Structure 1
């Protein structure tokens, strides 16, 4: 066998070995990216799975029941406003129940009116020293509903940690501006 042919065979063998190793590396990279994509895929509450914890199915049902049951005795006008604002309200309360900080503006600023902007939005987690950080808070109840105007209402949400027994109430005010419901105020 000539030297040129031997060099060609050796070069071809090295090239094929390199391709096989590159193929294995690419398969590993593809598998890692698939796991990353799965972690970022939205969960049932719309938040990426990587940003856990999120409300359990039981906590989501409890949230829905808390809003529905406390409105039963209110007038039709307020009930209709709340029904219209429900998607935003549920998003705000769900994110506040799971975001563990004093200031919820990082996760709620997309729902705010210009009155709040990106300012301070009190979170129920701040005063809770013993609530475990690997679970979301439950919404114990909503109450104290007040219709502020024809396009605004306020209510109180009581957040509760079943593990520590701590609770914290947050008052929320929503306003309808240009057909969109926005968080207009939040305070303890």
Structure 2
């Protein structure tokens, strides 16, 4: 009888512990996934995109890359020798859609850097994500849609004026409804207007 009581109490403790840790785990995952999506380089662009793709469902990734290519961002990244990095400026805000689907938003600072200058853009990025099928996604989750909104006009500065965000390298490991609207980055001597992939959905 005592063993049964101990087992029951242990099970309750484990359930409470899991319930308390899940929001923190989701927050860490959202931060990682969004930062990873906005971290790539002209040097290893294709390899970087392959790593980012692991965070998306197949349908969401197709929609995202179609919009990205239509915006000419890959061409501009190569032409301007951009190193793109990002860092969260606010913690993610996560809401439950149902037991296996969530919606999250997070403010993000994105920097586009080359040897001559860097540009900064402040975005609010919103994703929908879900529990991924076995063997897919990153650590059990996948993005089903992604949207971004410019919340502060981009600024441009010489490379020695400010430093670029340098977050840790992200680890690598649906049906939704928007198409990304993006603006291409400027030429090396043009006005500040870096890209903003947004509304990526299948």
Q: Considering fraction of residues, name the structure with more helix.
A: 1
- Larger relative CO (CA 8 A, sep 6+): 1 or 2? 2
Q: TM-score, normalised by structure 1?
A: 0.39
Q: Considering fraction of residues, name the structure with more strand.
A: 2
Greater Cα radius of gyration, structure 1 or 2: 1
